[in-house]
Amino acid sequence: MPDPRPEQVRRFFARAGQLDRHSPVPLYYQLQELLKEDIDAGHWQPGAILPSEAELEAAFGVSRTVIRKALDVLEADGQVVRQKGRGTVVAPPKLLYDAVAAAQEWRSGDLSRRPVLARVVDVRVVVAGGNLGTLLGVPPDARLFEITAVAAVDSPVSLTQAYVPTGASPQLAAAAEAPAALPLEIGGPELLHQLATRCGLPLQRSDLSIETTTANEFECATLGVRGGATMALVSTVLRGPDDAPLGFLRSVVRSDHFRFAVSVLHEAGTPAAHGASRPQAPPT
């Protein structure tokens, strides 16, 4: 069977055209955008080998330094992986981090690409204290479950600490007093979904805030990332049907494995964005 790659490379260069040397946008950034757009358009499937540095150099008339800077951007964004002896390989698409939807349904589809609860590091009952007590609207001496868990796809991708009042559901209260193990299924859906479905937490919505952070020593060891790696920090306040706080989650997520997306609902006639945010469905 003939190798389809030469024709695939030829078609890419035909689509791409040339870089604009009069643009204030650097050449390396233009090149990474061309490659990124072509990957996002589905012209290169995961595992496909992109044009080599020599092919890119010949087609665009730019130096290897420009090409490598462009590939550095794509690699840092998790779109490609450089493999010795093969070249620049298209990475699997990033998983959509849908912490809100996870509380309502574990979508059917390709479950091999859905994060699962891979490991429960620790479960203990702690007192809320001042900060968590204020956040959750409970007294400082209220008892909370502190759950530390790892989600994985092929390898660990996120580390979560969850704080949930022991009286938030009959199942949680029974687990705290028996004492009985929480009914969490290793290999099943992520922790948030299991808190709702297996532990009876009556979730209505989740309020998320997202920022970047640097992985600490424990997070590096648990998630298998290098020291000082940039991570996404997702803080989630869980709310029930009456909008009262039900729990708090702090998740450190590998930014090379996930992307985040929200839809913002705007009130008619107002210049500012209002309303709830919800995750977009993963692209098909």
- Going residue by residue through the chain (284 aa), what tens digit of pLDDT does each one get? 667 788 999 999 998 888 999 988 899 999 998 998 888 888 999 999 999 999 999 999 999 999 999 998 888 777 888 888 899 999 877 655 544 343 333 333 344 457 899 999 989 898 988 888 888 999 999 999 999 999 998 889 899 999 999 999 999 999 988 766 789 999 999 899 899 999 999 988 888 888 888 888 889 999 988 888 888 888 899 999 888 999 999 998 887 666 666 555 565 544 444 443 333 333 33
Q: Phi and psi of 216, rounded to 5°?
A: -85, 180
Q: Are 175 and 261 contained in the same domain?
A: yes
Contact between 99 and 206 (Cβ < 8 Å): yes
CATH of residue 130's domain is: 3.40.1410.10
Q: Are 68 and 142 contained in the same domain?
A: no
Angle between helices 53-60 and 5-16 (to 10 degrees): 30
Q: Which domain holds residue 31?
A: 5-90
Q: Are 220 and 177 contained in the same domain?
A: yes
**What is this structure's pTM?**
0.63
Q: CA-CA distance, 43 to 160, in Å (whole number)?
A: 35
> Which of 90, 116, 131 is the C-terminal boundary of a domain?
90
Handedness of CA 24, 28, 31, 33 (dihedral sign): negative
